[in-house]
């Protein structure tokens, strides 16, 4: 055969590869509001940069009539391309081929591209849309899942791993995204669950619709399994591109500098008036964050989960930072079980990938109550504390108002190896709030007083005067300085500049044993 004929044959085969499971199934995919694997990749990478790998692989199963049915590339598209000009590795499950199910060769393709990502120090992004284990391939498929989970685990903390759930992700298959750093889900089509509605009904009698069981909003609000929710496939892929701008390619790199043109010395007059005079009145910490960071650009993570804590990425003077902050608008910014998990996971991600931590604290304490105690707030709260103490990245903190008790300690305090700790003049740093403290210390004095309420109020205001301010902590060096709120941005940028070559270590060990 002449080379021209061979090339023609190659072009024909490539056309076949592009069609996946065929025109009818592509139409069915579109009818469900989903893009195909290839369309998704095109939206994720910079135009024309995708290089596909293994397009001619086919499955080798001969059971249940599968010997007759083959699709080039099988049920996954893998390869590499650029995202915002930087290398990224991608696998996208192709629902048009056997429902995107995982055969032996689909697993092998997935593992190959994961290994390449780790070897070459670049993020791996999985676009998930699959009916799970290829039923006809039985244990080969299970072995394949195990091989993927192992790589997810070994490469955790080495390269950023991102899962994008754009269709079904059911059964044990969910444990791959669950190990990765971030999960994106598309509303209406992305679903994750261990057992589906039918099995639940037959085992427990409970009836639940698929979306209520494992839809995007359920995982964003209730379980906390998903970090980002998008309205549709294109929006979701844009969000993935945005997230990657904040991250380094691997644990061996610093995050990229992105100059925004925002003046590092910019002061903000409004910061003076954000914290209300009345101590129990709420304000929006998100506004503090967006007024301080470069161009107000803040990508919030876990926005709908544990809303008393805010976490997310921003930049200060062009440097990526991980922001951790209380949200006084929700339960006064109290730390509960979910906020502890959310904070700990985020702090550890930033520490893995050399992203400095900037903390804004306004926290009345840990959440009281039997719900929380029985649910294990001791264990969960401990992991938040552990994550801050363990982190060796630069850690800068600003206390805007309350920092009471254990919650003062956990929020990047000096005792947990915080580097620079600032307080606004509005800060109140003490073992507990004035009301609680006075009720305990002066209980009998108040009871004996002819006017107990008047005595209580006098003692509260004396306590507030003496302890509920930043100066006791500052006089001991637990706070490095009390700063004018308007100068917060320049102060943070200078601190981060000073800390850019920080070296801190942990004692030699295999790994710590974080309370889980
Ligand atoms: C082989 C599968 C498949 C699977 C779907 N298909 N799932 N083929 N193995 N697991 C095929 C269908 O036969 C169909 O083929 C095509 O994919 C599209 O499927 P539909 O059912 O028509 O699509 P839809 O109505 O959108 O429903 C999607 C679905 C459903 C909800 C995912 O297909 C489904 O429930 N599938 C089975 C899910 C499941 O139980 N998987 C195994 C879980 S156990 P045609 O030829 O008609 O296009 C597991 C263990 C993992 O995953 C353990 C890891 C440790």
Q: Each residue of 176-188: pLDDT tens digit?
A: 999 999 999 999 9
Q: Which protein residue has the closest C-alpha to ligand 1 atom 30?
A: 131
pTM check: above 0.85 = yes
Q: What are phi and psi of 165, to 5 degrees?
A: -90, 105
**What pLDDT is attached to residue 506?**
96
With 0-12 CB in 10 A as exposed, 13-18 as middle and 19+ as buried, what is 269? exposed
Residue 512, phi then psi, degrees to nearest 5 = -70, 175
Pocket test for ligand 1, best of 59, 93, 131 (most atoms within 8 A of CB): 131
Mean pLDDT across 289-304: 98
- Whether the pLDDT of residue 445 is over 80: the answer is yes
Domains 3-244 and 269-431+469-498 share a fold: yes
In this model, does residue 68 exceed pLDDT 90?
A: no
Mean pLDDT, the chain, integer: 96
Comparing 90-99, 406-415, 449-458, which segment has the lowest mean pLDDT?
A: 449-458
Residue 221 has pLDDT above 80, yes or no: yes
Q: Is 407 a catalytic residue?
A: yes
Please tell me the distance from the alpha carbon of residue 438 to that of residue 1, in angstroms, as a whole number.
94
CA of 99 to the centre of ligand 1 (A): 5
Q: Please name the residue whose Cα sits nearest to atom 43 of ligand 1.
A: 132
Catalytic residue among 407, 437, 468, 495: 407
| pLDDT of res. 432 | 87
Supply the residue whose CA is at minimum distance from atom 17 of ligand 1: 99
**In the predicted structure, residue 130 carries a pLDDT above the cut 80:** yes
Q: Judge contact between 164 and 41, C-beta under 8 A.
A: no
Structural Rg of the chain based on CA atoms: 26
171 labelled catalytic = yes
Ligand 1 atom closest to Cα of 132? 52
Q: Annotated catalytic, 190? A: no
**Which residue's CA is the nearest one to ligand 1's atom 6?**
99
Domain segments of the chain: what residues? 3-244, 269-431+469-498, 434-467
* Residue list, ligand 1 pocket, CB within 6 Å: 25, 98-99, 101, 131-135, 142, 145, 168, 170-173
What pLDDT shows up at residue 88? Answer: 98
Nearest alpha carbon, ligand 1 atom 51: 172
User: Looking at 196, 406, 436, 497, which residue is catalytic?
Assistant: 406
261: left (phi over 0), alpha (psi -120 to 50) or beta: left
**Cα–ligand 1 centroid distance for 101 (angstroms):** 6
Q: Ligand 1 atom closest to Cα of 149?
A: 55
Mean predicted confidence (pLDDT) in 10-36: 96
Q: How far is the CA of 337 from the centre of ligand 1 (A)?
A: 36
- Residue-wise pLDDT tens digits, 310-326: 999 999 999 999 999 99
> Please, which pLDDT band fits residue 465 given cuts at 50, 70 and 90?
confident
DSSP 15-76: HHHHTTT-HHHHHHHHHTT---HHHHHHHHSSTT--EEE-TT------GGGGGG---TTTTE
E strand intervals along 276-366: 299-301, 309-316, 319-326, 357-363
Band of the pLDDT at 60, cuts 50, 70, 90? confident
**Cα 110 from Cα 417, distance rounded (Å):** 40
Q: How many CB atoms lie within 10 A of CB 324?
A: 27
* Separation of alpha carbons 77 and 92, rounded Å: 5
Spatial separation of the C-alpha atoms in residues 406 and 368, rounded to whole Å: 13
pLDDT at 279: 83
Residue nearest atom 9 in ligand 1 by C-alpha distance = 134
**The predicted structure's pLDDT at residue 408:** 95
Average pLDDT score over residue span 406-432: 96
Ligand 1 centroid distance, CA of 132 (Å): 6
Closest by Cα among 431, 386, 390, 376 to 408: 431
406 catalytic residue (yes or no): yes
pLDDT greater at residue 442 or residue 247: 247
Determine the pLDDT at residue 145: 97
pLDDT at 340 over 80: yes
Å from CA of 220 to ligand 1 middle: 25
| Strand bridging mode 420-423 / 76-83 | unpaired
- On the question of pLDDT at 260 being above 80, the answer is yes
Q: Of these residues, 22, 172, 296, 369, which one is catalytic?
A: 172
Q: Is pLDDT at 138 greater than 90 in this prediction?
A: no
Range of weakest confidence among 95-99, 124-128, 222-226, 459-463:
459-463
Between residues 439 and 114, which one has the greater pLDDT? 114
Q: Is 71 exposed, middle or buried, given 0-12, 13-18 or 19+ CB atoms closer than 10 A?
A: buried
Beta strands in 153-238 (DSSP E): 161-165, 168-170, 182-186, 191-193, 228-230
List 121, 157, 171, 405, catalytic entry: 171
Tell me which residue has its CA closest to atom 28 in ligand 1. 131
CA 102–ligand 1 middle distance (angstroms): 10
Q: Record the tokens describing residue 333, joined without a space.
A: 């910014």
Residue 104, pLDDT score = 95
What share of the chain has pLDDT > 70, as a percent?
100
Q: Which of 57-61, 80-84, 173-177, 510-514 has the lowest mean pLDDT?
A: 57-61
| The CATH classification of domain 269-431+469-498, taken from the options 3.90.1150.10, 3.90.226.10, 2.30.110.10, 3.90.180.10 | 3.90.226.10
> Among 132, 247, 253, 149, which residue's Cα sits nearest to residue 199?
132
**pLDDT level of residue 1 (50, 70, 90 thresholds):** confident
pLDDT of amino acid 198: 92
Distance 25 CA to ligand 1 centre (A): 14
Asked if the 3-244 domain carries CATH number 3.90.226.10, the reply is yes
CA-proximal residue: ligand 1, atom 53 (nearest): 172
What pLDDT, on the 0 to 100 scale, is given for residue 182?
A: 98
pLDDT at 24: 97
Identify the pLDDT of residue 65: 74
Contact 359, 397 (CB under 8 A): yes
Q: 434: pLDDT confidence band, cut at 50, 70 and 90? A: confident
pLDDT for res 246: 98
Average pLDDT of the segment spanning 265-284: 94
């Amino acid at each position: 055969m002449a080379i021209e004929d061979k090339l023609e044959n190659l072009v024909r085969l490539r056309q076949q590869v592009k069609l996946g499971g065929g025109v009818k199934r592509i139409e069915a995919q579109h009818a469900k509001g989903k893009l195909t694997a290839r369309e998704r990749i095109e939206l994720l990478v910079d135009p024309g940069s995708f290089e596909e790998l293994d397009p001619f692989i086919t499955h080798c199963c001969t059971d249940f009539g599968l010997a007759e049915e083959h699709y080039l590339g099988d049920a996954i598209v893998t390869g590499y391309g650029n995202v915002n000009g930087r290398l990224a590795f991608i696998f996208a499950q192709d629902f048009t081929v056997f429902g995107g199910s995982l055969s032996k060769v689909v697993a092998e393709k997935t593992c190959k591209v994961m290994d390449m990502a780790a070897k070459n120090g670049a993020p791996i992004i999985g676009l998930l849309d699959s009916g799970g284990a290829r039923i006809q391939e039985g244990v080969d498929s299970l072995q394949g899942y195990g091989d993927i989970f192992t790589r997810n685990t070994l490469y955790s903390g080495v390269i950023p791993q991102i899962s994008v759930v754009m269709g079904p992700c059911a059964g044990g298959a969910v444990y791959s995204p669950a190990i990765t750093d971030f999960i994106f889900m598309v509303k209406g089509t992305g679903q994750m669950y261990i057992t589906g509605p039918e099995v639940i009904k037959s085992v427990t009698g409970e009836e639940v619709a698929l979306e209520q069981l494992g839809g995007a909003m359920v995982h964003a609000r209730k379980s906390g399994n998903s970090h980002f929710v998008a309205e549709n496939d294109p929006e979701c892929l844009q969000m993935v591109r945005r997230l990657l701008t904040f991250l380094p390619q691997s644990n061996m790199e610093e995050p990229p500098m992105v100059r925004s043109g925002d003046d590092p010395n910019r002061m903000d007059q409004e910061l003076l008036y954000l914290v209300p005079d009345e101590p129990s009145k709420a304000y929006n910490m998100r506004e503090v964050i967006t007024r301080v960071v470069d161009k107000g650009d803040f990508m919030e993570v876990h926005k709908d989960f544990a809303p008393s804590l805010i976490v997310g990425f921003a930049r200060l003077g062009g440097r990526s930072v991980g922001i951790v902050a209380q949200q006084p608008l929700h339960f006064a910014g109290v730390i509960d079980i979910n906020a502890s998990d959310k904070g700990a996971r985020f702090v550890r991600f930033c520490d893995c990938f050399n992203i400095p931590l900037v903390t804004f604290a306004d926290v009345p304490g840990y959440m009281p109550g039997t719900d929380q105690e029985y649910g294990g707030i001791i264990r969960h709260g401990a992991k938040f504390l552990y994550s801050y103490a363990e982190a060796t990245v630069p850690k800068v903190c600003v206390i805007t108002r309350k920092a009471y008790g254990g919650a003062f300690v956990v929020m990047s305090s000096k005792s947990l190896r915080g580097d620079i700790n600032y307080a606004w003049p509005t800060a109140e740093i003490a073992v507990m709030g004035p009301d609680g403290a006075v009720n305990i210390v002066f209980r009998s004095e108040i009871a004996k007083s002819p006017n107990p309420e008047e005595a209580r109020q006098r003692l509260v205001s004396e306590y507030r005067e003496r302890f509920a301010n930043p100066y006791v902590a500052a006089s001991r060096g637990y706070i490095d300085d009390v700063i004018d709120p308007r100068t917060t941005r320049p102060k943070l940028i200078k601190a981060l500049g000073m800390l850019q070559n920080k070296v801190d270590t942990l004692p030699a060990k295999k790994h710590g044993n974080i309370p889980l």
